[in-house]
Structure 1
Amino acid sequence: MITCVVHYTIDPSKIEAFERFAREWMRLVTAHGGIHHGYFLPAEGASDKAEALFSFESMAAYERYRTLFGVDAEFVAADRIREESGCVLRYDRTFMRPLLPNG
């Protein structure tokens, strides 16, 4: 299993747009074979940071999912939320492998 951790710097004044963006990506990851562990939004402290975690069975499975970016109409529409709203100022991805209690 490979887990993608996405670190976001967001515009706190556009949190509703970010939540719309996040809901679409949670749906798309799940629909295309991944497990979405959720988005983690600011509660207190720094108000411009958010995180997302999702997993695929392998890096190959993740790469198959990535082939849909910019091509599949649903992926394009989900990305358009980010582009048009300006809710995401910056993001980067880190790939990790989980060490689970029963693993």
Structure 2
Amino acid sequence: MITCYLRYRIDPYKLAEFEHYGKLWIPLVKKFGGTHHGYFLPSEGASDVALAMFSFPSLAAYETYRERSFVDADCQAAFRYAEETRCIVSYERSFFRPVFG
């Protein structure tokens, strides 16, 4: 299993738009075989940082999802929404693997 961790810098004045963006992606990750662990919005502390995490069975499965997302109409609509609303300033993507007892 591989988990993608996204750390977003968001426009704090466009929190509602970013929340909508997150709600668009949760079912899309599932559509392509992933498990979404949610978006995490600012509460206390920095008002311009949000997080998201989702997992795929393997890095290869994640890469297939990424390739398919670039041609999927619903994914493209979500990408456009973020561009049009400019709710995301920047983001960082990292990958992790779990360790279980």
- SS of alignment partner, residue 66 of structure 1: helix
Alignment check: 8 A CA contact 1:20 1:81 kept: no
Matches within 5 A, 1:15-94: 15-94=15-94
Letter in 1 for 2:4: C
Letter in 2 for 1:32: F
Unmatched tracts of structure 1, length 5 or more:
none
Letter in 2 for 1:88: I
Q: Distance in 1 between matches of 2:41 and 2:14?
A: 12
Q: Taking every aligned residue pair, what percent have the same amino acid on both sides? A: 54
Q: Distance in 2 between matches of 1:90 and 1:6?
A: 10
- SS of alignment partner, residue 47 of structure 2: coil
User: Where does structure 1 differ by over 6 angstroms across 4 or more consecutive aligned residues?
Assistant: none
Q: Distance in 1 between matches of 2:29 and 2:40?
A: 16
Letter in 1 for 2:10: I
Q: Distance in 1 between matches of 2:98 and 2:43?
A: 25
Alignment check: 8 A CA contact 1:8 1:50 kept: yes
Letter in 1 for 2:83: E
Structure 1 length-normalised TM: 0.94
Query: What is the Cα deviation at residue 99 of structure 1?
Result: 1.6
Unmatched tracts of structure 2, length 5 or more:
none
Query: What is the Cα deviation at residue 69 of structure 1?
Result: 2.9
Deviations 1:59-95 (A, max 9, x none): 0110110012331111100111110000000001000
Query: Which position in structure 2 is the counterpart of 1:4?
Result: 4
Over aligned residue pairs, what C-alpha RMSD do you find? 0.9
